[in-house]
């Protein structure tokens, strides 16, 4: 299953909810969202600074990952971004391809 790096930043209202419910409740909610589309949570951490939540999730496809991202972002309590993770073997396969491309102005 494709892996995604998830980063999140809580709004002030989201932090209030996090403080009221606790971290394990938010982990359970995020895990339930991933599992509802056939995904899994590999790791999940809270942090501080520019990023409040960091995790690695597996999703069956890009549409499932996007659905969870949109669902969580519509809450208004947290803003998340998902970054697809590429294995070394996938990078090797990509580097062996020769796509056609013309740079602007050339």
- 99 domain-assigned: no
- 10 domain-assigned: yes
- 95 domain-assigned: no
- 9 domain-assigned: yes
pLDDT in tens, 38-56: 999 999 999 999 999 999 9
Task: Quote the pTM value.
Answer: 0.86
Q: Please answer whether residues 28 and 81 qualify as being in contact, where contact means their C-beta atoms are separated by less than 8 angstroms.
A: no
How many CA atoms lie less than 13 Å away from 47 in the CB half-sphere? 13
Number of domains in the chain: 1
Query: Partners of 57 in the beta sheet?
Result: 4, 41
The predicted pLDDT at position 106 comes to 84
Task: Measure the CA angle with vertex 21, ends 15 and 22; round to 5°.
Answer: 80
pLDDT in tens, 58-106: 999 999 999 999 999 999 999 999 999 999 999 999 999 999 999 999 8
- 101 domain-assigned: no
- 106 domain-assigned: no
- 104 domain-assigned: no
φ, ψ of residue 15 to 5 degrees: the values are -65, -40
> Where in the sequence is the domain holding 23, given as residue range(s)?
3-87
């Amino acid at each position: 299953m494709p892996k995604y790096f998830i980063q999140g930043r809580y709004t002030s209202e989201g932090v209030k909810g996090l403080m009221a419910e606790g971290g394990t409740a938010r982990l359970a909610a995020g895990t339930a969202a991933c599992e509802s589309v056939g995904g899994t949570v590999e790791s999940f951490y809270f942090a501080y600074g520019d990023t409040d939540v960091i995790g690695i999730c597996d999703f069956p496809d890009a549409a499932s990952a996007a659905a969870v991202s949109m669902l969580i972002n519509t809450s208004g309590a947290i803003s998340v971004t998902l970054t697809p993770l590429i294995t070394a073997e996938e990078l090797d396969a990509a580097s062996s391809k020769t796509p056609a491309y013309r740079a602007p102005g050339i």
